[in-house]
Amino acid sequence: MRATVGPDGNGTALRHLPIVYHPEYVTRLPDGHRFPMPKFRRVYELLCSEGIATERNVYRPEAAGRELLSLVHSERYLREFLDGSLPASALRRIGLPWSEALTRRTRRAVGGTLLTARLALRHGLACNVAGGTHHAHPEFGSGFCIFNDLAVAARALLAEGRVRRVLIVDLDVHQGDGTAAAFLDEPAVFTFSMHCESNFPFRKVDGDLDIGLANGLGDEAYIERLQQILPGLLETQRPELVLYDAGADVHQADRLGRLMLTNRGLFERDRYVIELCRTAGVPVAAVIGGGYDQDLDALADRHCMLHRAACEVVRRAAGLDERSTHSQAPHKTRVGDSSTIVEQRGQSAHNGGHDSLSFCSRRRDRSR
């Protein structure tokens, strides 16, 4: 297994955890809509309250433009969605009511995953507070997914020559059918999806590796299965970037999932994936993926396992001990005040590492 990081920042120490967020990640849906749109803000607020997201490590993405989106999506689908002329049947398949604000939200979230991937190439690891819209196909949207952020990010970085091989690790409870469809004939991108077989989408699209799990699998068996697969994939595929969809809908309390992972299992899964990739020297860009619950606090807590696990990996990589980190007071970000968010993109953010690190030792026990 390789011991250096991909095309940029080879071998750089992992000392900074970029978090990507934008207030436009949340847009208003009709009261009672079953998609838990407010969760994105709730996740961000929780990350701020725990000191994971601070004024020094939060990055705001640009909205993805039409040219970028057309790397994956057909001109007709883009035109019809963006100008609001998508047929009713196509909107029903998406499951979200069209609005101008929704188009902005969608473009912003795709831009967020691309920025997360760029930051991962620079720093070794980065996490979005949205993303994972893996049911979006090139010609249509589906299952609350409009544009495929993972596919757009991979296509953009390949087109720029920033990477030559990308591995998509999709651990959402639902199969990544849209992502598989986007890369059917693309040898530079390997799509791996491990999901609940009897769950949506019922007509799956074959990716490069699909593992359909039985209902009710719990923490131990789930992680054991992952451990049987992922090391070999990194070894054989030799990716220069991993795009990780850390879907929280594998949780036992998820409304739409049928697996039985606990909070602890989620944390261990995410930490395992990130740590394994980092040990192999592969940058990881992680997105939060699916998660469905009426209890937004419980749901946000589940999604935050990803960012907590990422911080744990940063802390371990930096080799910090408790004593040295306790002396660093974390910066506080005023929640909801975008003026406190640093808008650096891709450079001059290295000094933010201390914020990530000080958090990492403070909140280690929360995931236990």
Do 360 and 315 touch, CB atoms closer than 8 A?
Answer: yes
What DSSP state is assigned to residue 65?
A: P
Give the residue with the Cβ less far from Zn ion, 208 or 249: 249
CB of 247 to Zn ion, least distance (A): 5
Please, which residue, 249 or 268, has the CB nearer to Zn ion? 249
Burial 159-198 (b: 16+ CB within 10 A, else e): eeebbebbbbbbbbbbbbbbbbbbbeeeeebbbbbbbbee
Give every strand in the sheet of 125-128, ordered side by side.
58-59, 19-20, 125-128, 284-287, 241-245, 166-170, 189-196, 209-213
Closest CA to 299 of 41, 51, 23, 24: 41
Other CB atoms within 10 A of residue 69 CB: 26
Binding residues for Zn ion, per CB under 5 A?
Answer: 172, 174, 247, 249, 290
Decide whether 59 or 140 has the Cβ nearer to Zn ion: 140
- Closest CB to Zn ion: residue number: 290
CB of 73 to Zn ion, least distance (A): 20
Q: Residue 175 Cβ, how far from Zn ion at the closest point, in Å?
A: 9
Q: Quick one: 9 or 201, whose CB is closer to Zn ion?
A: 201
Considering the complex, state which of residue 247 and residue 352 has its C-beta at the smaller distance from Zn ion: 247
Q: What is the spatial distance between Cα 174 and Cα 306, in angstroms, rounded to a whole number?
A: 18
Please, what is the minimum distance in Å from the beta carbon of residue 289 to Zn ion?
A: 6
Which is nearer to Zn ion, 247 or 283 (by Cβ)?
247
Structure tokens at 270: 């995410």
Please state the closest distance from residue 176 (CB atom) to Zn ion, in A: 9
The single residue listed with the structure tokens 């991993």 is 242
Q: How far is the CB of 201 from Zn ion (least distance, A)?
A: 10
